[in-house]
Every structure is written in C-alpha cells, then in structure tokens.
Amino acid sequence: MNGKTLYIDSDAVDNAVTLWRMGQLVVVPTETVYGLAADALNGEAVARIYNVKGRPQFNPLIVHVADEDTAQRYVEWTNHAETLARAFWPGPLTLVLRRRRDCPISELVSAGGDTLGIRIPAHPVTLQLLKAFDGPIAAPSANRSGCISPTTAQHARDELGDAAPLIIDGGACQVGIESTVIDLTGDAPVMLRPGAITKDRIADLGIKHWRAHAKDDVLKSPGQLESHYAPSAPVRLNATQVMPDEALLAFGTQVPLGAATTLNLSERGDLIEAAANLFSYLRSLDHSHHRTIAVMPIPETGLGVAINDRLRRAAAPR
Ligand code: TXA
Ligand code: MG
C-alpha cells in the first residue's frame, strides 16, 4: 500500500488492523495529538517507529489500550493508578508503572527499562481501532524527532510523507498537546510531562504530595534513567574477536567464533531487526553470567545511531 489517508469507516478500521497485524505503521488520531502507531507486542514493528521518527535515542513509548482491564494485564496496578484512571481515563493522562513480570510487550517500548507508560485515549476513532485490533498499540507523536507534534491528519502527512502506509483522519485533535505523564513507580508520584491533566485537578482527588522531577529524569534523557536497563556484566564495544569466557552480541554474518554464548541481533544485518532484539538479547546475555558482554560493531547509520547510543550507555563506567 502506498501512503494514503482515509476517513474513518469500516474499511479504514479493517485496513489499520490488517497493517498492524503485518507489523506496519498506521498514523492514528487521538484527543491529544496524532500518533505513529504499531503493534506493541511486535518488536520489529516498534523498531520501525523509531526508524521513521529518526530518534537518536530509544525514548520509551506510550502504550494505548481500550480499557482498564487490558492495562492491568501489562503493569503492576497501584492505588494511585486506580484513582487516576477512574478519574481521567479515557483521557490525556499517561501512567508510568512497573511492567508485570509476564508482560509480553516488546522491551523496546520500555527502552529496555522495567516500566511502561500506558493510557486509554479519549477519541472515538482511536477507541474503535483499539477495540478492533484487540491488543496494545505503541504510539509516539507522529512527528519526526525534534519537530512539532501533528494535530491534524494533514500535519502528520507533512511530517511523515509516505513513511506510514496509512493515515487515519479523525479531524483536528481537541486537546492539541501531548498527554500528562505521571510516574507512579516510586513512593510519591512524579510529574514527568505536564499536560491537560494538571496537579490542581489531581489534588481534588486527594493526591497532593509529589516528588520533584529530578534533572536527569525521563524527559531530559530517558536513556540515562537508572531504571533503564544496564547489564551487570561489563560491556565491551566494537569487538572483532572474543574470549572463551565472554558472551557475544553479534551483528551480521562475519561473526567471530569461540564465545561462550552468542546471540545475533540480525544475521542479515538489518538494523530494524537488530533494534527489535537489542534489549531482550542484552538481558539474556547478562543472565548467562559470563565475564564480559562483547558487542560487535554496529553501523552508525539509520537506527544504528540509536542502537550505538544505547550500547555506549550500557558500556559506560558505572
Ligand atoms: O498524548 C500523547 O501522549 C501522544 C499520543 C499519541 O498518545 N503520545 C506522545 O508520545 O506524546 P511521545 O513518545 O511523543 O512522548 C511520550 C513521552 C516521552 O516523554 C517519554 O519519555 C514518556 O512519555 N514515557 C513513555 N513511556 C515512559 C516510561 N516507561 N517511563 C518514563 N517515561 C515514559
Ligand atoms: Mg513526541
């Protein structure tokens, strides 16, 4: 399919669901801004989002679901989550919560961390799409990295051109700024991103104590958050040879032999496939308890820039 814009009708819903099941991207309206949406269970589809946005880092993405029961399948629910969800869902509020142990959502959505940002959008079209898809949808704002979030289908097309095969036109977004993001993983909530749901409105529910938003919290540099996964084994980059007591994170076909364990990010040298595998492979190599995780060179092009950024953080002295 070649980039088209559809107004919402049953064909548009069927097309979107089909594309999602194929691992493709669909631009969808929400009440806040348009989102560049993919199946959150499919790591390669999620990697395509980063690829199209041209993000230099893997920022965690918001997962959109149709109802609260679905949300509770993926995250550890808390009292504050219940209070806020009751009051503001569906609506422009994203809750950051711990992933459940059995959470099947791609680790790339969480940028390798153990938390998940989740919300139920308040837009009839988005809800219709989510119900028809019957699964979690990851969607950042549908703009290129560093550009403004689109609030009409036309803005989304201007931003992305034909990079997404389908744009669903649900009219102009009513809220027009991105959702409020609140981190509920600590003892007090943290406002990570202000939005239409303000602290004043939340105070009416009896939630008044906030922890200050630390300078290196998510908004500024998500990849540096301590909650982001850093392996416990030292990481050695640009490895072209390996020792027998090392684990190897390989890429491409020219893989040095002799490592204790090897996982190949992408034998065919595909950066999208590599990004999709990155966090889960790092995690399993770390669990294999070898002296070092050696990592083969990854090309510094396209998604390789984000992959290398994350690998450099994983290898940084700590
Ligand atoms: O209104 C919105 O939230 C729109 C629509 C499409 O839903 N989406 C959106 O996504 O603005 P994005 O990716 O442009 O912004 C998501 C924000 C980022 O600041 C990201 O760091 C934060 O939410 N975020 C997402 N998941 C997180 C997590 N697990 N921990 C901390 N921050 C998270
Ligand atoms: Mg954005």
Q: Which atom of ligand 1 is nearest to the CA of 121?
A: 7
Distance 158 CA to ligand 1 centre (A): 21
Residue 217 has pLDDT above 70, yes or no: no
| 22-36, 81-95, 174-188, 277-291, range with the lowest pLDDT | 277-291
Residue 219: the pLDDT is 43
Residue 68 has pLDDT above 90, yes or no: yes
Task: Name residues contacting ligand 1 (CB within 6 A).
Answer: 30, 32-33, 35, 59-62, 92, 94, 96, 110, 113, 115-117, 121, 139-141, 178-179, 181, 192-193, 218-219, 222
Q: Which atom of ligand 1 is nearest to the CA of 59?
A: 21
With pLDDT > 70 as the criterion, what percentage of the chain qualifies?
92
| Burial category of 237 from C-beta neighbours within 10 Å (exposed 0-12, middle 13-18, buried 19 and up) | middle
Could you give the CA distance from residue 88 to residue 113 in angstroms, rounded to a whole number?
25
Annotate 254-305 with DSSP letters as a single string: -PPS--SEEEES-TT--HHHHHHHHHHHHHHHHHTT-SEEEE----SSTTHH
User: What crossing angle do the helices spanning 304-315 and 271-287 adopt, rounded to 10°?
Assistant: 20
Q: What is the distance between the terminal CA atoms of the chain, rounded to a whole angstrom? A: 47
Q: Which atom of ligand 1 is nearest to the CA of 143?
A: 14
- SS3 of residue 191 by DSSP: strand
Residue 51 has pLDDT above 80, yes or no: yes
Q: Which atom of ligand 1 is nearest to the CA of 35?
A: 6
Counting ligand 1 atoms within 8 A of each CB, the residue from 159, 181, 190 with the most, and so the one to mutate, is 181
Residue 35 has pLDDT above 70, yes or no: yes
- CA separation, residue 8 to residues 29, 127, 142, 143 (Å): 10, 12, 18, 21
Tokens of 39: 């199946």
Residue 223 has pLDDT above 70, yes or no: no
pTM of the model: 0.85
pLDDT higher at 3 or 215 = 3
pLDDT higher at 63 or 144 = 63
Confidence category of residue 228, pLDDT binned at 50, 70, 90: very low
Residue 70 has pLDDT above 90, yes or no: yes
Distance 117 CA to ligand 1 centre (A): 7
Distance 205 CA to ligand 1 centre (A): 23
- Residue nearest ligand 1's atom 29 by CA: 116
Residue 147: the pLDDT is 79
Residue 8: the pLDDT is 66
| 17-31, 136-150, 167-181, 221-235, range with the lowest pLDDT | 221-235
